[in-house]
Structure 1
Amino acid sequence: METQQYIDAIEGILFIVGDEGIDCLQLSKILEVSKAQATALLDDFVAAYHKRNIKGIQVVCFGGKYKLATNPEHFQYYQKLVEQTSATISNAALETLAIIAYNQPVTRSKVEEIRGVGSDTMIRKLVAKALIKEVGREDSLGMPILYGVTNEFMDAFSLTSLDELPDLQDVVQIEQDEDLFKTKYQEEM
């Protein structure tokens, strides 16, 4: 593979790994090159990225992990965005949040088992909104992360303790035999 193809791939890899970042050893395994080559390719990527002269995103390295991050020069705009979007939460995120609140501490795989769908993105969004956090590791194979709610969650829902959450039996559920496609808002003929 040509150097430019590696550099292009690195950009996509950094985008995919997101907040977790990637170190030179991981990158060398993915690109199937030596660690020294991966380091040189990362240096080439950073140099090429700076030449683009785009100032909204920057490449940073914290704790040996490379990642894409927003440029702090534009913090005031990012903060406005967060303030505008922090008041809303999707149904999928709310469902994930409820599962974590009722089952904490809980692993991502347990949340996914209950929801029946992948929840990695929802969990990342909830962590980013500071509604949930890592509270430890489960003592099992792979030591998966355990999640629980935060003080911000308690404030957002005006709770002084989790005991104030409604009992699950009191929560109204959609009956399984109800036709989901029927609605009271039907087109008039």
Structure 2
Amino acid sequence: MNGELNRHGILEALLFVAEEPLPLVRLQEVLGDEDPATTEATVRELALALEGEGRGLMVQEVAGGFRLATRPEAHSWIQRLQQVKPARLSRAALETLAIIAYKQPITRAEIEGIRGVAVDGVMRTLLERGLVRILGRKAEAGRPILYGTSSTFLEHFGFKDLGDLPSLREIDELIGASGTDPASPNANAAAQPSPALPSPSEAGAAEGGEPS
């Protein structure tokens, strides 16, 4: 019965059924709280409760909202259940995505100027997966399209906002992790450890292969 649920239980149910991260203001509205601080406190309490009980789920703050996600430690068990190798982004796609993330808004020609190769196929893949979006057109001859990252990009890499992007120095230190990125995790059931984006400074030396 609904009367048997406490606030943590209600919040857990809301985060479970949501198809995308729920902003604090939306949770406040649904829970009927007058003060957003009350709602935020409930979110933090639920997060601590799940962590303290050693549960397989956790509350994750990404893309300006909150969601339930599986803990990275559970990934190998989920893989056994699914028995499906997740689709991965190619190194070329990751490098292109890194350029867009750090240089946005940016045109296709500017991306190709940095990478030194055509990016038509890579851009098509990133757009189809919703990691990149069209921001508008640049005010210059030909009015080329400007591209930027999407909220799906933030969810995918576990970033709260673009301010969470690692510095270029950190990217260089973690460059070895590029190319191991699982694509399009499910918002409710598959939070993976956030892979490092490759450095845009490496892009010019990268191979021009298209994603499979």
Please indicate the TM-score interval, normalised by the length of the shorter structure: 0.3 to 0.5
State which structure, 1 or 2, has the greater radius of gyration over its C-alpha atoms. Answer: 1
| TM-score of the superposed pair, with normalisation by structure 2 | 0.41
| TM-score of the superposed pair, with normalisation by structure 1 | 0.45
Q: Which protein has greater RCO, CA pairs closer than 8 Å, 6+ apart?
A: 2
